[in-house]
Amino acid sequence: MTKQKVSYFFNPDVGNFHYGTGHPMKPHRLSVIHSLILNYGLHKHMQIYRPYKASAHDMCRFHSDEYIDFLQKVTPQNIQAFTKHLSHYNVGDDCPVFYGLFDFCSMYTGASLEGAMKLNNHDCDIAINWSGGLHHAKKFEASGFCYVNDIVIGILELLKYHPRVLYIDIDVHHGDGVQEAFYLTDRVMTVSFHKYGNYFFPGTGDMYEIGAESGRYYSVNVPLKEGIDDGSYWQVFKPVISAVMEFYQPTAIVLQCGADSLANDRLGCFSLSTKGHGECVKFVKNLNVPTLVVGGGGYTLRNVARCWTYETSLLVDEQISNELPFTEYLEFFAPDFTLHPEVVTRQENANSKQYLEAITKYTYDNLKMCQHSPSVQMHDVPGPAISEDEKMKEEEDPDVRISQDLEDKMVEAKNEFYDGDKDNDKDDSKT
Ligand SMILES: [Zn+2]
């Protein structure tokens, strides 16, 4: 197999947003991951891009104009004027209005969109956007910490060139927003592995949700119980994805790597190790199909950072040390300071072998019902979402005095890129 070309999208500002005190979603995790990636030297094995920022127009390819207009206008200061709209758009507690909300959405959505475009252009084989993966966002409303569904927008871009797109979701929560968007079509197959039952959020995703009309049999749900460990997860993941590949033969894949399926997540209840979670990523990479890799949930910051750093290393085929490199965030990883700490959990695995066999068989029987790899007549291919002109305009923005190229190089400088033991130009005064 020839080495796959990997592109990585990161906006250095995306980690500076804050959902509010006590909120489990912390965009800061993205800065920690980026720092680990640089300090492990993984950036040398991929193309690094400061991504395009999605416009309201891009977002409206999936979302309603009214909803995006609201997201663009609402701020913590003027929120009083929108009281009637808040419940209408499900904005408030789980999905708060915070400073820079629309900008945050533009950044993570633009990165998925540009990743899809680079895949379409054959500029890369794998595109990584850890800031994306906000799978709960709906056409008309926010849901589960998600406002704009970057995955749906990325898939819509892939569909311009790809007859069949496969979506795989290993977040602990059901990928409901993506499933709903493509429930009636065979152009996208959605496959979600998640905790189901006892009112666990979002409450959907039982195995009988299989799609409808032309999309019947093209939604696949693998409902799991709490405490699933690496061995049990693999027992379902491998056969289900193998069957999906056999029957659907996708030409592009979007992989949502929600890290709240790891053991000891603040909100999750599974018992996966970073290695077990990474096994799924490695398996999808080895399918050798153009793939957009996105993040998602993950609420125990140190574990999310470990997981997505490790998965970046798998995607670029580089072995990295279990001992974490020095970063400004090293203290987060006490007391072991390792990439793969031992998983200690009191959560019992409630998934019996028989239960897992039964859902795997049910899934397999449904997949057999798919018309073998549907094809569409691809003509009048619409152009890419972002024209070269638009990119140029962005770069020439008078507010941005330095060229994009230079800025991208500065990402390293800002994070005090450290290369080797002899390098001692670090600023030790920083905490
Ligand atoms: Zn989740």
The 10s digit of each residue's pLDDT in 139-163 is 999 999 999 999 999 999 999 999 9
Render pLDDT for 93-152 as a digit per residue (tens, 0 to 9).
Answer: 899 999 999 999 999 999 999 999 999 999 999 999 999 999 999 999 999 999 999 999
Which pLDDT belongs to residue 346? 85
| Binding site as annotated, residues for a divalent metal cation | 171, 173, 260
Cα 162 to ligand 1 centre (Å): 27
Length reported for the chain: 431
Is 136 one of the catalytic residues?
yes
For 6-414, CATH gives 3.40.800.20
Measured in Å, residue 261 CA sits from the centre of ligand 1 at 8
Q: Residues with Cβ < 8 Å from 240, sequence gap 6 or more? A: 191, 193, 220, 222, 360, 363, 364
**What pLDDT is stored for residue 2 in this prediction?**
77
Gap from CA of 171 to ligand 1 centroid (Å)? 5
Question: Which pLDDT score is estimated for 390?
Answer: 60
Cα-to-centroid distance, 202 and ligand 1 (Å): 9
CA distance 33 to 149: 22
Buried b (16+ CB within 10 A) or exposed e, 54-79: bbbebbeebbeeebbebbbebeeeee
Q: For position 401, what pLDDT does the model report?
A: 37
Q: Which two tokens stand for residue 16?
A: 């500076």
H-assigned helices in 74-149: 83-88, 101-120
What is the model's pLDDT at position 300?
97
What is the pLDDT, as a whole number, of residue 419?
39
Active-site residue among 43, 136, 162, 277? 136
The full set of domain ranges for the chain reads 6-414
Q: Which residues are annotated as a binding site for substrate?
A: 94, 144, 299
Q: What is the pLDDT of residue 217?
A: 97
Q: What is the pLDDT of residue 384?
A: 77
Give SS3 for 389: helix
pTM, to two decimals: 0.89
Tell me the CA–centroid distance for residue 390 and ligand 1, in Å.
Answer: 34
Q: CB under 8 Å to 410, separation ≥6 — which residues? A: 402
Query: Tokens 């005190």 correspond to what residue?
Result: 21
Q: Please tell me the distance from the alpha carbon of residue 70 to that of residue 92, in angstroms, as a whole number.
A: 13
pLDDT of the chain, 431 residues: tens digit per residue: 678 999 999 999 999 999 999 999 999 999 999 999 999 999 999 999 999 999 999 999 999 999 999 999 999 999 999 999 999 999 998 999 999 999 999 999 999 999 999 999 999 999 999 999 999 999 999 999 999 999 999 999 999 999 999 999 999 999 999 999 999 999 999 999 999 999 999 999 999 999 999 999 999 999 999 999 999 999 999 999 999 999 999 999 999 999 999 999 999 999 999 999 999 999 999 999 999 999 999 999 999 999 999 999 999 999 999 999 999 999 999 999 999 999 998 899 999 999 999 999 999 999 999 866 667 766 666 677 776 556 544 444 433 333 444 344 333 333 333 333 333 333 333 33
Output the CA 30–ligand 1 centroid distance in Å. 16
> How far away, in angstroms, is 130 Cα from ligand 1 center?
14
CA–CA distance, 75 with 127 (Å, rounded to integer): 32
Q: What is the pLDDT of residue 428?
A: 36
* DSSP helix/strand/coil, 129: strand
Task: Tell me the binding residues.
Answer: 94, 144, 171, 173, 260, 299
